[in-house]
Amino acid sequence: GTTAFQLPNNAAIAATRTSTATTSLGMAPRFDKDTQTWFATCEEENPSAGYNPIGSLYRAGPVPFFQRLVNADTYEQAVLKYMAAEGCDRIEAQGNMDAFLENPQDWAYQKMEEKKNPNKMKKDYANANMAPQQIILSTAWACVVVVFAYDLVTGVADGRYGKAEGNDLF
């Protein structure tokens, strides 16, 4: 499994202190010490209040999309933990989690820069790549990739791309 979004020890202490802080929604996810899991305390923190895996695909690409499908529980726990630590809403936490899964080093660097320069504009991961033109472009490119991948796989299987030897693909 993945260890998605592990905070350093000193940040974990700070996150524990802020986990009872309230968000703009008036609540924050809580940590259950018995089950060692985070849980939502209101409807606005539940998965239905955020965006689906396709939203992750558009915002940050295939890596967070597949992570959400394969490691759904780990993703959900990371989102709730981020919400509690940062006091933000679910969509902002999901956007940050997707950005982290896509490129942890760049995400961490961006967060360090934001803390060093609080007056500088904060990166909006929640709305990244969600302009209508970007959605159309991403969808068109995805269609092109799928068509070529399908043609490649079926072409190799049929022997159109090189001589097929027996039943093996390679």
Quick one: pLDDT at residue 10?
42
pTM of the model: 0.73
Q: Are 135 and 51 in contact (CB under 8 A)?
A: no
Three-state secondary structure of the chain? CCCCCCCCHHHHHHHHHHCCCCCCCCCCCEEECCCCEEECCCHHHCHHHCCCHHHHHHHHCHHHHHHHHHCHHHHHHHHHHHHHHHCCCHHHHHHHHHHHHHCHHHHHHHHHHHHHCCCCCCCCHHHCCCCHHHHHHHHHHHHHHHHHHHHHHHHHHHCCCCCCCCCCCC
pLDDT value of position 168: 60
Between CA 71 and CA 75 the distance in angstroms is 6
pLDDT at 26: 52
Ordered per-residue pLDDT tens for the chain, 170 residues: 444 444 444 444 343 333 334 444 456 899 999 999 999 999 899 999 999 999 999 999 999 999 999 999 999 999 999 999 999 999 999 999 999 999 999 999 999 999 999 888 889 999 999 999 999 999 999 999 999 999 999 998 888 887 656 666 55
pLDDT in tens, 78-110: 999 999 999 999 999 999 999 999 999 999 999
